[in-house]
Amino acid sequence: MLGTIMLVILALLGVVGGVFLGALIQYWLTRSKMISAQQTAARILTEAERRHREMIIEAREEAVRVKTQAEQELRERREEIQRLERRLLQKEEHLEQKLENLERKEQALAQKSAELEQLRAQMAQLYEERLQELQRVTGLTIQEARQLLLSEVERDIREEANRRIYEAEQQIKEEAQERARKILVTAMQRLTSDVVSQATASVVPLPSEDIKGRIIGREGRNIRALEHLTGVDVIIDDTPDAVTLSSFDPVRREIARIALTNLISDGRIHPARIEEMVERARKEVEAAIWEAGQQAAIEAHCPGLHPEIIKLLGRLKYRYSYGQNQLKHAIETAHLAALIAHELGADAQVARLGGLLHDIGKAVDHEVEGTHARIGAEIASRYGLPPAVVHCIEAHHEEVEPRTVEAIITIVADALSGSRPGARRESLEQYLRRLEALESMAYSLPGVEKAYAVQAGREIRVIVKPEEIDDLGAVRLARELSRKIQENLQYPGQIKVTVIREKRAVEYAR
């Protein structure tokens, strides 16, 4: 029992000792931390005081630097102000000197002005004296002398103007004719095309007269089928061994001609066979149109055209105007336009395209309302051709005023191609009507005595009355007559207007 109590006491003592020892250890640890914290705080405080002293020193140095800089800038500004003041003083002195010189010049000018007024007065007095003396000697008033002088001056000026106008016109004509002659000779050497008679009908030869009845068929069914399928008029008359196909559409007429020729060669003529032959002929003509359009584009050096443009261009193979094939005319116009554009330094490709496509509207002008120039311009615009080319097409007959050099070149090339020797032919009735219209227009102008259309209507020569028309009036009359011809007549190429003024003096020796 006693031993147990001792053990308990020892245990309690051990616990108390442990607690005391733990408290003692905790105390020392806490004190050590406090001492460390105090040392850290002291170190931080020391560091802060050092940093504060450094910042104060830096601030003082910066203040000294700013002050020094400000003093330097202040000195510089003072020096600049002093320099400006010196310049202002110099300018002021210079202005004062100029003002003094100006005042001296004004005084001298005033003195000269007074002298000039005095001289003017003397001149006026001398003029009056000379004028009175002149009137006394000549016996003419001022108005009469002025009128006489003006008449003399007007006559001299008119004669000089006539001479210069004539010389300028002759020089311009010689230069223009020389250049045009070179271009035309070059073009004609390179571009030679055939002349084919204009026609709205095709004649199909027959091996015998018996074929006419087979073409007509029972109760006319064969001829009706052929006319219905091709859209042409089949004329069977008393012409021996021939059938005439009439249509304003040259492509349809060509299809009908090929189909009828093949039917005659085949010998079987009935509606079903006619339909087959017409379809075969249509495909053949379409292939020929495509080939002709491609060949024309290649020959004119105009690649990359739209397929529809190629087709329309090929249709011109069957179109004629005054006996001139329109496809060959288009190619020729393209080459001429390119030659002229090269000579003038213009855009040759635009001129070439404008020349090739200027009559493209004629391929469909029998199907679409409007002039072929407007139709062609709409087609060219629809298929993406450049605006410059579209303008060449729409302006080539001057329905639209030409605004570019290439458009004017297209007009000139078109006229050259149509008016060159052998290019076109026209009927006798049209020729006579054109000659009569030319002479009538000349006689409608005042002062015309006689008028003659010569050189197959390519030139109109007008003889004027010399007492009514002077030299300048003759020039004006030529221009007026050419303008009237352009506005009122349709003609291939160009017409030369020659006005002749002749003054004759006749006396008789008795």
Is the pLDDT reported for residue 327 higher than 80? yes
**100 within some domain:** no
Kindly report which listed range (109-123, 141-155, 370-384) carries the lowest average pLDDT score. 141-155
The parent domain of residue 235 ranges over 199-299
Is the pLDDT reported for residue 55 higher than 70? yes
**276 within some domain:** yes
Q: Which pair of tokens denotes residue 2? A: 């006693």
**401 within some domain:** no
Is the pLDDT reported for residue 459 higher than 80? yes
Domain boundary among 299, 321, 344: 299
Q: Which of 57, 236, 261, 358 is nearest to 350 (CA)?
A: 358
- 347-398 pLDDT per residue, tens: 889 989 988 988 888 888 777 788 888 898 899 899 889 999 999 999 888 8
Kindly report which listed range (373-382, 412-421, 423-432, 479-488) carries the lowest average pLDDT score. 423-432
Q: How many CB atoms lie within 10 A of CB 436?
A: 11
Domain boundary among 299, 323, 344: 299
**484 within some domain:** yes
In the chain, the percentage of residues whose pLDDT exceeds 90 is 3
What are all long-range contacts of 82-89, with beta carbons under 8 Å and residues at least 24 apart? none
> 246 by DSSP, 3-state: which?
strand
- How far does the chain reach from its first CA to its final CA, in angstroms? 207
35, 40, 46, 50: CA torsion to nearest 10: 170
Number of domain units in the chain? 2
> 303 by DSSP, 3-state: which?
coil
In the chain, the percentage of residues whose pLDDT exceeds 70 is 88
**255 within some domain:** yes
Is residue 250 within 8 A of residue 288, CB to CB? The reply is no
Residues whose CB falls within 8 Å of the CB of residue 447, separated by 6 or more in sequence, listed in order: 464, 465, 468, 469, 473, 477
pLDDT for 422: 46
CATH number of 237's domain: 3.30.1370.10
CATH number of 462's domain: 3.30.300.30
Q: Which pair of tokens denotes residue 324? A: 């001139």
Is residue 336 within 8 A of residue 328, CB to CB? The reply is no
Domain boundary among 299, 331, 365: 299
pLDDT for 388: 92
- Secondary structure of 26-50 as H, E, C letters: HHHHHHHHHHHHHHHHHHHHHHHHH
Task: Identify the top-confidence range among 16-25, 140-149, 376-385, 492-501.
Answer: 376-385
Q: At what angle do helices 372-382 and 387-394 cross, to 10 degrees?
A: 170
**186 within some domain:** no
Q: How many CB atoms lie within 10 A of CB 375?
A: 21
- 198-234 pLDDT per residue, tens: 455 677 888 877 777 888 888 888 888 888 888 888 8
**404 within some domain:** no
Burial of 425 (0-12, 13-18, 19+ CB in 10 A): middle
